[in-house]
Each structure stands twice: as C-alpha cells, then as structure tokens.
Structure 1
Amino acid sequence: MSLHLKLIIIAILFGGCHYTSDRSGVPVNTSTEMPYVAASLQPGVTNVHTLYQNSDFPAVSGNDLEQAIRSIPEFSSFILYRDGEIISEMYKNGGAANRPANIKSASKSILSALTGIALREGFIESIDDPLSGYLPGYFDGIDDSLKHQITIRHLLMMKSGLRSTSFGNYGAWVVSRDWVGYAIRGPQVHPPGRSMAYSTGDTHILSAVLSEASGMSTRQLAERYLFTPMNQGIGGWDRDPQGYFFGGNNMALSPYALLEFGRLYLNGGMYNGVQVLDPEWIQKSLTTYQHGISFNSRRHDYGYLWWHNTFGGHSVWFAWGYGGQYLFLIPEMDAVVVLTGNPDTRSRGMNNRIYSIMETTVIPYLAGSTKRD
C-alpha cells in the first residue's frame, strides 16, 4: 500500500480529530508565564475561590461547580474569570495553566481577530475585497464568475458558497497537495453570501489571504500583533504543503493564553493600555449574521467566526473546537470561561453536557455571587 493511500485512509478514519506536531519545527512553548498566583497549580489540582452568595439567587457552591466540571471525564482545564480575577480553575488529564494544547476549531476565532488587525494595519483594504485580488494565482483560469465574487467577509461568515471541506470531505482535503487550491477549485454549491456551510476550507483560505496581504506568515502576524502584546505565545501549529499555517485548526494555545484572548474582547480590545483590537471590530465580530444553525445537537447563531447562544438567560459568545475546546464570553457578567479537553475524544453527548453545565451551574454560580471586597 502506498504512503499516499495510507494517509488518505488515516485522514478518513480520524477526520478533523487528529492533531499532528507543528511541521514548522517550532517547539511547543511551555515557558510563557502569566501574572496569576494560580499559575503554580499542577495537573489534578483544583483552586476554587468562594464568592459571597446573594440571597436573591439559588446558591450554587464551589463544590457544586467542581463536581459539575469533573463530571466531564475528557476535560483537561477549566478557568472561570470574572471582574478582574480568576475565581476558579481546575486541571486534569495532563492539562496545566501554561501548557499549550490543541484547541482545534476554536482557533477560527483567532483568525477573526487577525482579520480585524490586518484591516487596521492596512494589510487589507476592506473585508468586501474579492479573494482573487490577494490570491490571483489560484483564480487564474477559473471561468466561474461566482468564485470571483467571493470576498473576505464571506469567509468570516462561512458563506463562500464553496463545497465544505469539513466532515465527510475533510480526509480527501488534508491529503491533497494544495489545500487552498483544493478548496477554491471545488464545486460552487451556492452563490456567495446565500447561506452558511461550516467549512475549515473557508478559514484556511482566509489564513492564506492574511499571509499574502501582510507579507508574513499567519503565525508571525498572530505573534507580532496579537499574542506578544498579551505576553503570550503559540505552541505548535500545523502548516499545509505550501507552508500556509492551518487556518482554523490544529493550533496549540495554553489555557491562560485563551483566557487573555477572551479578556481582550471584554475589555474592548485593550490590554495593559495597548489597543490590540479595535472595539468596532469586536462589535462587528460579535454580531449575528446567521440564525438557528443546527450544530452540536443545538441551534446556534454565528458572527464572524464566533458562535452565539443564550445560556441561563444570558447572551454568550463562544469559540468552539472538537473534543471540548471552548472559550465562552459572557459580557453581561464580565466573565470568561475556558474549557479544554482531549482533542482526540469521540465521546457522544459531551457538547450537550457542557452546554447544560453552563446553564445549570456556571451561570447560576456567577449570578448568585458577588466579587470579594
């Protein structure tokens, strides 16, 4: 059996669920430090800070919270942040505060932020620019006028109209010799902008656009303009055969790096006095452009590579990745929830269990608590 055929079989069996090491040769960064005392916590250790309980709400204790999180056998890290402090964090299954782990498709929300940065820095003129202006070589010889109408905005909303490269099409895509070309030259199922079709191909094309527009790799763009200002780093990150960093999958970030990314959105893009993201971009990103998408056994809304739903009566925006990778933003409560798990798990019902815990435990715990003096 040829190596190419073996790769196809492996990709079909595991789909988007398997994480390989970073082909760039950049080692996983385990040295990034954060200014939290709790950074010394080791895997398996729990740190739950008790908040004052308000009598107006049903009491959900720290023990209730811990038991709920530990009922998710696949989880490796959990962080609950509110009003400027971490109020709970737990680690298990090899997870640690500053240990990078594969966040899978949660990295799509990172691509959303990088697009806003590229717009601010003048690398791209408008998100309504057609892709052909940034990737002309991929559009040479394409006569389909619809493909020439696909814009950066369509990629952000996953409304390119291209055939999805996710789910059943993932295996053939990732063993192709040119991921960007495979996605662009695939069938045009719908006119751009008509309807959403979840596709990592869209976000990978976006990664290529960002790289070509900025003149640097997507990783360099992310490190220079997003993670370095937050005193964070990126671990492993896969690349395609052409060297483009995988847009929307197989990026390794630590739980604390995810937390700081979430805090950035709550703080209007400011970090220690530096405007890392424009508040206007945040507002546009966290706006619903597609309603009622059936995904992970529920119906969600979608913004610019961010998911949205209502949990416990509160509006929640979140980044999601296979295997229990979540970053929840609860703006009304000034709260961030980080949850990571085993990226290779195939546990049924895990996402619904996480949503249920958000509704029945995490939100009530926050609602029934006040910040310590």
Structure 2
Amino acid sequence: MRSAHLLTVCLLVSLAITVVSADVAADPDPSLADAEDAFAALERSRAMLVLVDGEPVIQRVVDGPDLETPVNIKSLSKVVIGALVGAAIDRDVFAGTGQPVSELLGERVPEDADARVNDITVGHLLSMQSGLARTSGANYGAWVASDDWVAYVLRREFVDEPGGRMGYSTGNSHLLSAALVEQTGESTLALARAWLGAPLNIAIPDWLQDPQGIHFGGNEMRLSPRALARFGEMIRHDGALDGRQVLLADWIEASLTPRTRSRFNNDLYGYGWFITELEGYTAYYGWGFGGQMLYVIPELELTAVMTSDPTPPSSGTTYLRRLEQVVSEHLIPAVAAQSS
C-alpha cells in the first residue's frame, strides 16, 4: 500500500511539472488589451477606436477630446475626397475617371498652363499621377501662401507625363475639390454633408477654404473617430451601411485597386487609399500627417481608427511604421485569435 501511494504521488507531481512547464513554454494569447496598451505607449497617441464586425472592441482616449469630437484628420481627408468623386460620377456630375480635369475646371485653368494639363484625368489626380511637380512637403508653404491655389497647381512644371510615377501632392486633391464646386455650384462642404454626412449620419464641420472659397481638397478636414469608423465600415461593406447604399460597390472596388506605388513607404496606392499586406491580410488604409489613420481589413471584419497629435514636426513614415506595428503585431493577432 505504501509503495502504491508513493507511486501515485510521484505520478501526480510529474504531471503537475509537465503542465506547468507547458504553460511557461507557450506564448501568451494575444489580447486586445495588448494592442490598446501598445498604442497608448506611443508619444503622439490620442485616440483608438476598433470595430470588429461592426462592434466596438477598443474605445480608448489617451489624450485630447472624446471619440465623438471632430479632430483634424489632415491628409486622411483624401479618402473622403475620393468618396465624393465616386458620388459625383454616380450622379453624372463627372463623366468618369478618364475625364480630363480641364473640362471640369473650365475657366479656372490658367491660359499659360502647359498644354499637357489637358491630358490629366480625374483618375490621375486620385492616384497622384498627374505628372505635375508636388505641392506637398517642402513646396507646401509657398502653395498655400499663393493667391490662387488652383492656378498655382496647374502652373507647376511637369516632372513626369500624366499617368506616370506617383508624386504625392495635396494639390492634386484640391483640383478635385475645385472641379466639384465648378460642376455643381455647391461648396465641397455642402456636397460632403449631403452625399456622405446625411446617409452615414455623421457630422462634417466646416473646414479651411482657399482664397477663392474652395474647401481644401485633401487636408484639414475634421471628423470624429466615431465618424471615421462609420466611414470605414461603409467602405468595408462595399459602399453600404445600415441598409443604405451610400457609394456604388464598383466605386469601392475601383478605389481599393492598386494603381501605383508610393516612393515614401513602398506601399501600393489606389484612389486615396494605401494598400499593404499585414500578417498575411490585405489592409487598406488612409494616412494623415502626424498619424491620423483609418485601417480597413475586410477579411477580419476589422475597422480601426487611430488619431495622433497633428502638431509639427512629425517623423512621417517612421511613426507610421510604429502605428503599423501596433496593428500587425498586436491588433491583428488578437482579432484573428478571437475569430478562429
């Protein structure tokens, strides 16, 4: 009896050691809390809102206003301008992405502009392939200090042919805003509120205008994280939300189709959207100065908004990669683990 008892005790101890050893060796399950903490640890972080299958799984304010308050989304505005172009095509305001922008701008095209301006299409502007010298980066200050932003862009020298290499320039997006105004007689603000704000049930506050009263195309818009999340959900659902088709599904597909590649971060680029692979999943994202981000990963039913301090200076692609690490190393594994 005594020998049998000792054998039983030894077996139990051995089993316990084996279980403990297995627990120590195994990697801990990825958690959404890890993703939240990784974002909060970044020095510029403001707010993080993550939806999975339409339900919020992370709602975190690190610094600044709450999730309902509009904030400056900087160049993330370009995905909104792209959506407005899609709505304009759907309403026959624009003929399509192959339409020359000079037809839409009319007398706003300066007489001394290079003749190749007539070869720039709506699609070229959306994909940053106008061929015109950039107005972003070091050229930004002189452009926004000019007395006619549209004419300034169209007078820029050609550094490539229209449809050539990508040259990221907010001037391209601003031409689209001007074209919307020229063709409708309405402000870009009014169109954004009617075509996007009302159907998505989101607030779109007024934002900066150029000297001619044209709302800045592709910069300085203000949207709340919750509004951005609803916009992202509409994109994820092929242009529909809450049973309403806001944009044509064909336009969403066209917007997310790679057209060129960014020379800054080497990611693909569509119509206002960057496209990359993260942990084996295709991720579409809009990116604004300072770290204003909207990620849409359809395969995981994931929409993620991250806002950051927009105050210059910003480390640009370096900070982008740190935000991307939050998504790829923490958020995606956590969501994938929950869905498996």
TM-score for both structures, normalised by structure 1: 0.81
The Cα of 1:144 is off from its aligned counterpart by: 2.9
Indicate the SS of the match to 1:124: coil
Mean alpha-carbon deviation: is it higher for 240-249 or for 268-277?
268-277
Structure 1 gap segments, 5+ residues each: 1-55
Q: Counting helix residues as a fraction of each chain, which structure ranks higher? A: 2
Please give the per-residue CA displacement for 1:26-71, whole angstroms capped at 9, x wherever unaligned: xxxxxxxxxxxxxxxxxxxxxxxxxxxxxx9961123312221111
Alignment partner of 1:221 out of 162, 185, 191:
191
Residue 268 (structure 2) aligns with: 301
Residue 24 (structure 1) aligns with: none
Residue 365 (structure 1) aligns with: 334
Identity %: 38
The Cα of 1:239 is off from its aligned counterpart by: 0.4
The Cα of 1:218 is off from its aligned counterpart by: 0.7
Residue 291 (structure 2) aligns with: 324
Structure 1 residue identity aligned to 2:289: Y
1:168 aligns with 2:138: yes
Structure 2 residue identity aligned to 1:368: A
The Cα of 1:228 is off from its aligned counterpart by: 1.0
Residue 340 (structure 1) aligns with: 307
Residue 8 (structure 2) aligns with: none
Residue 159 (structure 1) aligns with: 129
Structure 1 residue identity aligned to 2:338: S
RMSD: 1.6
The Cα of 1:312 is off from its aligned counterpart by: 1.3
Distance verdict in 2 for CA 1:63–1:305, change over 3 Å: closer
The Cα of 1:219 is off from its aligned counterpart by: 0.7
Residue 319 (structure 2) aligns with: 350
- Are the aligned partners of 2:131 and 2:161 in contact in 1 as well (CA < 8 Å)? yes
Q: Which aligned pairs between 1:23-42 and structure 2 lie closer than 5 A?
A: none
Mean alpha-carbon deviation: is it higher for 197-206 or for 231-240?
231-240
Indicate the SS of the match to 2:49: strand
Distance verdict in 2 for CA 1:62–1:304, change over 3 Å: closer
Mean alpha-carbon deviation: is it higher for 58-67 or for 281-290?
58-67
- Are the aligned partners of 1:101 and 1:235 in contact in 2 as well (CA < 8 Å)? no
Distance verdict in 2 for CA 1:67–1:130, change over 3 Å: same
Indicate the SS of the match to 1:209: helix
Indicate the SS of the match to 1:368: helix
Residue 231 (structure 1) aligns with: 201
Distance verdict in 2 for CA 1:143–1:239, change over 3 Å: closer
Structure 1 residue identity aligned to 2:311: D
Q: Which aligned pairs between 1:249-264 and structure 2 lie closer than 5 A?
A: 249-264=219-234
Distance verdict in 2 for CA 1:139–1:345, change over 3 Å: closer
Paired with 2:217 and 2:281, the residues of 1 have a C-alpha distance of 30
Paired with 2:83 and 2:274, the residues of 1 have a C-alpha distance of 14
Indicate the SS of the match to 2:267: strand
Paired with 1:248 and 1:323, the residues of 2 have a C-alpha distance of 15
The Cα of 1:352 is off from its aligned counterpart by: 1.6
Structure 1 residue identity aligned to 2:182: E
TM-score for both structures, normalised by structure 2: 0.89
The ranges of structure 1 where at least 4 consecutive aligned residues each deviate by more than 6 angstroms after the TM superposition are none
Paired with 1:246 and 1:144, the residues of 2 have a C-alpha distance of 24
Residue 19 (structure 1) aligns with: none
Structure 1 residue identity aligned to 2:133: R
Structure 1 residue identity aligned to 2:207: W
- Are the aligned partners of 2:32 and 2:331 in contact in 1 as well (CA < 8 Å)? no
Indicate the SS of the match to 1:146: helix
- Are the aligned partners of 1:232 and 1:257 in contact in 2 as well (CA < 8 Å)? yes
- Are the aligned partners of 1:57 and 1:368 in contact in 2 as well (CA < 8 Å)? no
The Cα of 1:294 is off from its aligned counterpart by: 3.0
The Cα of 1:138 is off from its aligned counterpart by: 3.0
Alignment partner of 1:114 out of 60, 69, 84:
84
Paired with 1:143 and 1:260, the residues of 2 have a C-alpha distance of 40
